Structure 1
Amino acid sequence: MEKSIHVLMLILVLLVLESASLASDFSSLSHADECSLLFQFKESMSVNKSASVDSHAYPKVASWNLNGSDGAGNCCLWDGVECRFGHVIGLDLSSSFLSGTISSNNSLFNLIHLRTLNLANNDFSSSQIPSGIGRLSQLINLNLSYSFFTGEVPKQISHLRNLVSLDLTENYMLTLQGSDFQNLVQNTSETLRELFLSMVNIDFVPDSLVNSSSLTSLVMSFCGLSGDFPTSILYLQKLQLLDVGGNDNLTGYIPEFHGNSELKQLIVAGTNFQGSIPASIGNLTHLNVLDLSESPFTGTLPALVSNLTQLTYLSLGGTNFDRWKLPDWFGKLNKITHLYLYDVNLYGEIPLSFFNLTQVEVLHLEENQLEGELSSSWLNFQNLEKIYLGYNNVTANLYLFLSLKKLKTLFLSGNNITHSVIDSHINGTQPQFTNIVLASCNLKVFPEFLRFQHHLEKLILDYNNIEGLIPGWMWNISTETLTELTLSHNLLVGSEQHSPVAPWVSLQTLDLSHNMLHGKILMPPPTTKYFSVSNNNLTGGIPPSICDLLSLQLLDLSFNNITSSIPPCLEKLSNSNLTVLNLRSNTLHGTIPNIFANGSKLQVIDLSENILEGQVPRSLEDCKSLRFLDLGYNFIEDLFPSWLGVLSELQVFILRFNKFHGIIRIPSKIKVNFPALGIIDLSYNLFYGDLPHQYFLEWLAMKETKANAYYMETDVAVAQMHRPFSFSVQMTSKGVKMEYVRILNAFFAVDLSGNMFSGKIPESIKTLTGLRLLNLSNNELSGAIPPSMGNLISLESLDLSSNKLYGMIPQDLVQLNFLAVFNVSNNNLTGPIPHGKQFDTFSNNSYMGNHALCGSPLSMNCGDSEASKPQKVSLEEDPESDFPNGIDWVVILIGVVTGLVIGLVCGDYLSTKYYRWFSQRSRR
């Protein structure tokens, strides 16, 4: 009893001492002062209810009032405010719809007793983190996550020496300088426990972090980190969470581990960590999350991973493992709920022990070489919600998965899927899916179980062999929820139930392309963003009602038999969200209407392969975002539309096979001339005059070589997914019309063939050093081939055939190391053909029709070095010459004189006779 009294007295003494200390500290600010400071902070902020996406958000500061009754003026009773001993020590204004700028002299930073400050999930997008934050020296917890702060984290943040937790997550326009980061870590090495910096821009991980003895959580994912990661951090005794995922340029390895680690979550996904995974990883027996995915780890998965029996999340997808089978010990990891083994070089059959993972909810096994027939053991996975098994070699009956009642996502694409006929009594017991992806499954008919699905959001059945009519019941499934329906690349010819408008009220993607549909265009609902019925047999006109689809981002009606004119009402779409307009290869007629509105979002316009006529509509210059324009294979009759040079984003410009005419020159009033242009095709028109040498100097993009090549495409954002639309063109290469289905951004091409250009090839063409294809054939060009064309070091195809070029083929062209196609046939070229490198690979066809060319591969031998020089005419006897000499001259001279005399006599007679005849006819 006496001991208890002593303990109690000691506690009371400590409380008194603490109170005295706090009273001394707090003497500088009264309670009323702090309430006034809080209210001033409220007044400096705006409340914007669009600034938060948190469902629990509400404007906490709305209830703050200094003059209210019933204690409303007491700030300790305000929402989000925590007090101790009458002073404000905590402020939680997370998800409060706050917006605006916080200045460094804001009253907030005079609340010097604050220990916790939480401003997460607001919108301070016009504000930097103020340097005044450094005045809050008592701060223990600082949370500024998801609040759109910008600029640099102030140096003063390192003054917060008592910090235990710092959270700056998802401020992706925020930068933390390396030196400031280093100072912060050093100043808080004994206090800092939690450091959350995901998506903050940081160059490197400071080595001093290895001295942070209290650190339990370090999250630096998607920070742009590079260089070596100090792996000694993994030996920190209290560390439980390490996440440096999503840093592509961060290098490192997984070190050896001892048995005393407290680590529970290890995430290095999407880094450049490499090497093999050490067997000692099995000592991390507290691990419940291990994510090594999308990193270049090699070797095999150690058997000691079976010791990690606490794992609930395991992701190894996209690593470079050796070819391996699922081991039997995998069944010991029976607490796993999320398992990601996609693209890990698995092969063989799935072992029975694998089906001990009865807690698994999400299972990714796609893109491997798994094989065999799926057995009834799959029924063990009664907790399974999502299964991704696509692109393996397995055989499965579709109805095996209908007994997994919690299953919502079924992805089996690229396998051999069968299905049996099931009667309608199962409709009440089968799972209600949200996503079904059965592409490339060799399906012949629509699976019957689909008719009972009422909550589908995505249904993808493309690249199958489904033939005939779309069944009538398809129009009744998931009419309220379906957002994506893809039936492309099948053998469909129509529908059992004709409906002028698709019935799905939430539909955003409707893709019926590459079938054999006939009749009129099926109209999608007004919500549709992506609509493609390309490559069918659709007839009739473009219905005017399509102009009411104001959400539409992609409209693809290409490769059909649509016969109408282009409806002028499409201006409504051009003025809304339309990004891609593809009407290629129909029989559209008439002129192209002026439908392109100022502010248009159009990036792709393809009207090629129709019978359009008239002129290029001037409104096209309002499409400031346009990247791709193809008007080829029409009957458009116009001058070169130089005014389109103002389109600073235009990369592909095709006018081939039309009736364009005139001289191509740059008008003096135009200041921008196709600066982004990478492909231009003006072939087979009626242009004449000099080649457009001024433009060769202006096409800046063609003067570069791209270090990072990627396919040119535009994204259509649909249902939180991006569906890419690839640029594709027809061009002449190797003398053959070729379809470039996908185009690399590094592919630069100029095709001016099939016109009436004359004059010399200008020297300015040498500046287009990024060119891969140059075609000037079938013109009337003359003069010599400029040796400076040897500067076109990226050239892969050069066609100068069917012109009037003369002189020798420059030896400088031999340095074109990538030249695979070379054609100078049907010109007047002379002398020896260059040799060396690529020139030793070209055939006779490259040179035919030049009678004075010699050397391999032609049969004409150039002889010695003098053979290429023009021969002098000599009257001396030459045994190898056909020119007459000696006695032949006498015979020829006699013949000439005799003929002259006879000609004069006969000529006089005939002229007299016909003069009389002409005079008589004239008198009549």
Structure 2
Amino acid sequence: MAMVRSIHVFFLILLVLHALESAFANKFSSFSHADESSLLFQFKQSMSIDKSALSHAEACSLLFQFKESMSINTSVSTYDSHAYPKVASWNLNGSDGAGNCCLWDGVECRFGHVIGLDLSSSFLSGPISSNNSLFNLIHLRTLNLANNDFRSSQIPSGIGRLSQLTNLNLSYSFFSGVVPKQISQLRNLVSLDLRGNYWPRLKLQTSDFQNLVQNTSETLRELFLSEVNIDFVPDSLVNSSSLTSFVMSYCGLSGDFSTGILYLQKLQVLDLQVNDNLTGYIPEFHGNSELKQLIVAQTNFQGSIPASIGNLTHLNVLDLRINAFTGTLPASVSNLIQLTHLDLSFNKLTGNLPSLQSLSNLTYLSLRENNFDRWKLPDWFGKLNKITYLNLAYVNLYGEIPSSLFNLTQLEYLFLNGNQLKGELPISLLNLQNLETFHLDGNITVDFYLFLSLKKLENLYLNGNNISLSVIDSHTNETQPKFKELGLTSCNLKVFPEFLRFQHQLEHLNLDNNNIEGLIPGWMWNISKETLIELSLAHNLLMGFEQHSPVASWVSLQNLDLSHNMLHGSIPVPPPSTIMYDVSNNNLTGEISQSICDLSSLQLLDLSFNNITGSIPPCLEKLSNTSMTVLNLRSNTLQGKIPNIFTSESKLEMIDLSENKLEGHVPRSLENCESLRLLDLGYNFLEGTFPFWLGALSELQVLILRFNKFHGVIRIPGNIKVNFPKLRIIDLSNNLFSGDLPHKYFQEWSAMKETMANTIYMQTSIEEHREEYTTYISYEFSFHMTTKGVKIYYEKISEALFVVDLSGNMFRGNIPESITTLTSLQLLNLSNNELSGVIPPSMGNFICLESLDLSSNKLSGMIPQDLVQLNFLAVFNVSNNSLTGPIPHGKQFDTFSNNSYMGNQALCGFPLSKKCGDSEASKPPKVSFEEDTESDFPNGIDWVVILIGAVTGLVIGLVCGDYLSTKYYKWFSQRSRR
């Protein structure tokens, strides 16, 4: 009984204390310390109120939320729609307690002291310093300054004076610089939020992060550091026993992630997405776990997904996309019945996909780009009736699409592209009345009529399917969906779809690679006048325009691709907003209109392969001075001089003026194009000496001056310090250059002395800005090159292609030893010059050489036996010289024909009919088997030797790496057959 009375007394005391606390709180709230009111008012006066500042912060917050929404991260704060300038009403003077800060907006008091300050979304603007009066409020426990604009000032070190702080939120407020070390002194922190300060980014020093984690190991529950620059996660975080939310996305983390953090008993949210250099794995899970969100998207996690992941029964978000997970997906995933979001895309998962039918709460499922065993769509997909996003692109699906899939009536996004699907699209597609985006390619027979009944459909890509356009004329503008993006590439269309007449909100329309013929109808210029951003009609059979083409009527047009048709007439001029303009490979005539120079946003101008006349307009200086990266006027009939239009602000990466009738000198202003990677001026009437000053262009990789009237000796002036450091391809053929070969340049061309293991093609990216994000369109560089008298067009240029062509000039003297230091060369052409002396034996160092042409010179002496070790050599020509002695035997040399040696009267041996003094030397080598066989080849080469040479060449090819682009492989095949 005594114990019971004691308990009653104890609770009575608690009630009395609580009552006293409430009474005192109410009492003191009416007369707070005047000095705290003064401190807050001083803070107000140090700030300005700027509503535009909040809109800026709001925009950043919304953009960041969009980025993180890709993983459905519920820990992302939302923007306060009730924002207002809280401090505007603060006043020290006035009646009714106006000077009492405890009654001010955003202020919380206890016992007369300010303990909480919520000024989030308050339109605050301006820098905040460490001596600000705010940091003298030593009783503060909660401070929220989120969604304001502190003008990229640093987080003040004065924050360390607020030692009682438990909750600190400085997110989306434009703080920058290094997070002060004083933040680690806040030992009572329960929640810290520094997200969204990334213009420029905040940085948290490693030592300060470690101290913060150690000092708050028993109190810290929420840690939100997304977009803060941090090197790695301290291992000591495993001691943070109270941690519930740990969010560090986009932080630049690297090193190994301590998996022990996943064993923290109270942890509910772990978000590490987009830390590309962070390594780790998913450990085994034993016993209960509170984990609700596991997000390690776009990191470098590897290994298999353990079967024990099925023990995480509280999970509602599992996002493992863009990693290197391997093995099969364990069947235990079906235990995660609380999942609403599952993303396993862009991994290396194999085997069979287990049934996910039990995951009935799923709203988001992406399995995109994995290596599952070839499989058909099972019917259980149609039972995931809450799903709104389904991505099954590039997952090795085959067969027909079951009609049960279209029972998913809540679907808004469906991706089935990149598979081997076939058959007809089921009419049950009409069940998807909520569908907004649909991607499907393959060999599907599609009646487009079905899609015109899906009223919410905005983005539709049916590339590569067999499209039927029957029975659609009855759909009027009112009954059709309002498309924004429509892709009908390679759909075997023969006419312009009539339903396009009623589309007035299109932004992207792709009808390329079809068989549409005839004239572009006049009504095409009236569709989506205000909204159209991209139009591609390339690779069709179009002949021209039904009426004058008012392309400029599309006021928002940025990308126009009419290339590879048979259009004729004058060049249509697009609107000023155009960033990509490609009308190449047509039959367009006339001069380049001055109005093209008004396209202030233009990034790419391609008018190549037409019949354009006149001169290059000098007003193009406006474009070279803006954002233009590609200027391609190849293969026209342009005349006159190249105008001196290139400024130091130029961003040009590719200039191709080849195959015209241009004359005069190369304009010196080209040396301003510091970003230039390809310059092709071939097949013109240009003259002057070698433009040595181009050697200062540190990015230049391809220089083509072939078939012009350049003359003189090629020298390096003493005042030039940089000489083509990245040059890989140089073609000076068929000019009037004289003197010795430029041996000093051979010593300087360092890029030709390095090997590359991977084939990457030269291209540039055209930026296209949309409302929500920025996309990039790739434009691949191309050029012409002549080898062994054959002009070859390279649609792609491999960055592992190394070429020197100095043929067709008047070079004399010996072949310098310095040329043999260019060990990465694949094509070397010195033919049709006046070179003398011997072939250097050190040319055997060209271990990756595929073509060597020394024909039509005055070379003497013997063909060095060292050249036999060039196992990758496919073309060899020393004809029309004064060479003597026996032709080397072995490997690739036993595959070259007589034409390689003609015009050398003193050469002897195989394959020539002239025998050397040693009769054995003139015979091809033999390979002994159990039975000798005679070759069936007309030239008598033993097929076994060819096989040995091919195998050896393959080995050397692997050593050299993948040097050949697609077009060069075709060239190699053609040359081998000749």
Q: Does 1:123 align with 2:174?
A: yes
Among 298, 307, 315, which residue is 1:246 paired with?
A: 298
Q: How does 1:322-471 map to 2 (within 5 A)?
A: 322-390=373-441, 392-423=442-473, 426-471=476-521
Change (3 A) 1:233 1:43: farther
The amino acid that maps onto 1:380 is N
Matched residue of 2:321: which SS?
Answer: coil
Q: Which residue in 2 is equivalent to 1:491?
A: 541
What do you get for the CA RMSD once the two structures are aligned?
A: 3.1
Question: Is residue 541–residue 563 contact of structure 1 (8 Å, CA) maintained in 2?
Answer: yes
In structure 2, C-alpha distance between the alignment counterparts of 1:577 and 1:328, rounded to whole Å: 51
The amino acid that maps onto 2:634 is R
Q: Does 1:200 align with 2:256?
A: no
Matched residue of 1:806: which SS?
Answer: strand
Q: Which residue in 1 is equivalent to 2:604?
A: 554
TM-score between both structures, scaled by the size of structure 2: 0.82
Question: Is residue 878–residue 900 contact of structure 2 (8 Å, CA) maintained in 1?
Answer: yes
Matched residue of 1:805: which SS?
Answer: strand
Among 15, 36, 46, which residue is 1:12 paired with?
A: 15
- CA shift digits 1:664-706 (9 cap, x unpaired): 0101111111112111111111101111111111112222112
Change (3 A) 1:258 1:772: same
- CA shift digits 1:815-857 (9 cap, x unpaired): 3343222222222222333334433433333333323333333
Q: Which residue in 2 is equivalent to 1:588?
A: 638
Q: Which runs of 5+ in 2 are unaligned?
A: 26-31, 63-78, 116-139, 923-978
In structure 2, C-alpha distance between the alignment counterparts of 1:810 and 1:236, rounded to whole Å: 76
Aligned residues: 853
In structure 1, C-alpha distance between the alignment counterparts of 2:104 and 2:835, rounded to whole Å: 85
Offset at residue 194 of structure 1 (A): 3.0
Identity of paired residues, percent? 57
The amino acid that maps onto 2:638 is L
Among 814, 817, 830, which residue is 1:776 paired with?
A: 830
Q: Which residue in 1 is equivalent to 2:125?
A: none
Q: Which residue in 1 is equivalent to 2:807?
A: 753
Q: Which residue in 1 is equivalent to 2:60?
A: 53
Q: Does 1:668 align with 2:675?
A: no
The amino acid that maps onto 2:512 is D
Question: Is residue 362–residue 384 contact of structure 1 (8 Å, CA) maintained in 2?
Answer: yes
Offset at residue 146 of structure 1 (A): 2.0
In structure 2, C-alpha distance between the alignment counterparts of 1:276 and 1:301, rounded to whole Å: 8
- CA shift digits 1:736-766 (9 cap, x unpaired): 2211111111212111111111111111112
Q: How does 1:513-912 map to 2 (within 5 A)?
A: 513-719=563-769, 720-862=774-916, 864=918
Offset at residue 33 of structure 1 (A): 5.8
Change (3 A) 1:247 1:814: farther
- CA shift digits 1:116-155 (9 cap, x unpaired): 2222223334x02221210222222212122122445342
- CA shift digits 1:868-919 (9 cap, x unpaired): 9xxxxxxxxxxxxxxxxxxxxxxxxxxxxxxxxxxxxxxxxxxxxxxxxxxx
Matched residue of 1:807: which SS?
Answer: strand
- Name which of structure 1's ranges 453-462 and 836-845 shifts more when overlaid on structure 2: 836-845
Q: Which residue in 2 is equivalent to 1:872?
A: none
Offset at residue 461 of structure 1 (A): 0.8
In structure 2, C-alpha distance between the alignment counterparts of 1:289 and 1:141, rounded to whole Å: 26
Change (3 A) 1:62 1:240: closer
The amino acid that maps onto 2:265 is S
In structure 1, C-alpha distance between the alignment counterparts of 2:257 and 2:45, rounded to whole Å: 37
Change (3 A) 1:93 1:866: same
Among 199, 216, 241, which residue is 1:160 paired with?
A: 216
Change (3 A) 1:293 1:501: closer
Q: Which residue in 1 is equivalent to 2:195?
A: 145
- CA shift digits 1:7-63 (9 cap, x unpaired): 96475378599999x9xxxxxx98946974896699599989456534658998894
In structure 1, C-alpha distance between the alignment counterparts of 2:683 and 2:824, rounded to whole Å: 27
In structure 1, C-alpha distance between the alignment counterparts of 2:151 and 2:226, rounded to whole Å: 18
Matched residue of 1:232: which SS?
Answer: coil
Question: Is residue 711–residue 744 contact of structure 1 (8 Å, CA) maintained in 2?
Answer: yes
Question: Is residue 83–residue 89 contact of structure 1 (8 Å, CA) maintained in 2?
Answer: no
Change (3 A) 1:72 1:60: farther
Change (3 A) 1:140 1:64: farther
The amino acid that maps onto 2:703 is F
Offset at residue 497 of structure 1 (A): 3.2
- Name which of structure 1's ranges 333-342 and 10-19 shifts more when overlaid on structure 2: 10-19
Change (3 A) 1:235 1:739: farther
- Name which of structure 1's ranges 784-793 and 134-143 shifts more when overlaid on structure 2: 784-793
Among 232, 257, 268, which residue is 2:284 paired with?
A: 232
Change (3 A) 1:749 1:254: farther
Question: Is residue 345–residue 367 contact of structure 2 (8 Å, CA) maintained in 1?
Answer: yes
Change (3 A) 1:38 1:486: farther
- Name which of structure 1's ranges 85-94 and 528-537 shifts more when overlaid on structure 2: 85-94
Q: Which residue in 2 is equivalent to 1:182?
A: 235
The amino acid that maps onto 2:408 is L
The amino acid that maps onto 1:729 is F
In structure 1, C-alpha distance between the alignment counterparts of 2:103 and 2:903, rounded to whole Å: 97
In structure 2, C-alpha distance between the alignment counterparts of 1:571 and 1:46, rounded to whole Å: 44
Change (3 A) 1:556 1:236: farther
In structure 2, C-alpha distance between the alignment counterparts of 1:854 and 1:46, rounded to whole Å: 93
Change (3 A) 1:809 1:487: same
- Name which of structure 1's ranges 29-38 and 541-550 shifts more when overlaid on structure 2: 29-38
In structure 1, C-alpha distance between the alignment counterparts of 2:99 and 2:678, rounded to whole Å: 63
Matched residue of 2:859: which SS?
Answer: strand
Offset at residue 378 of structure 1 (A): 0.6
Offset at residue 418 of structure 1 (A): 0.9
The amino acid that maps onto 1:53 is C
Change (3 A) 1:429 1:782: same
Q: Which residue in 2 is equivalent to 1:918?
A: none
The amino acid that maps onto 2:60 is V
The amino acid that maps onto 1:600 is S
Change (3 A) 1:798 1:36: farther
- CA shift digits 1:284-338 (9 cap, x unpaired): 11122111111111111113x2221111111111101111111122222121111
Among 261, 264, 284, which residue is 1:209 paired with?
A: 261
Q: How does 1:52-71 map to 2 (within 5 A)?
A: 53-54=60-61, 63=87, 68-69=92-93
Among 273, 286, 297, which residue is 1:221 paired with?
A: 273
Question: Is residue 336–residue 357 contact of structure 1 (8 Å, CA) maintained in 2?
Answer: yes
Among 325, 328, 350, which residue is 1:273 paired with?
A: 325
- Name which of structure 1's ranges 347-356 and 31-40 shifts more when overlaid on structure 2: 31-40
Change (3 A) 1:204 1:753: same
Q: Which residue in 2 is equivalent to 1:25?
A: none
In structure 1, C-alpha distance between the alignment counterparts of 2:744 and 2:48, rounded to whole Å: 56
In structure 2, C-alpha distance between the alignment counterparts of 1:853 and 1:265, rounded to whole Å: 77
Q: Greater relative contact order: 1 or 2 (C-alpha under 8 angstroms, separation 6 or more)?
A: 2
Matched residue of 2:178: which SS?
Answer: coil
Q: Which residue in 2 is equivalent to 1:881?
A: none
Q: Does 1:288 align with 2:345?
A: no
Question: Is residue 286–residue 308 contact of structure 2 (8 Å, CA) maintained in 1?
Answer: no
In structure 2, C-alpha distance between the alignment counterparts of 1:528 and 1:846, rounded to whole Å: 52
Q: Which residue in 2 is equivalent to 1:255?
A: 307
The amino acid that maps onto 1:12 is L
The amino acid that maps onto 1:182 is D
Matched residue of 2:192: which SS?
Answer: strand
Q: Which residue in 2 is equivalent to 1:901?
A: none
Q: Which residue in 1 is equivalent to 2:975?
A: none
Higher Cα radius of gyration: 1
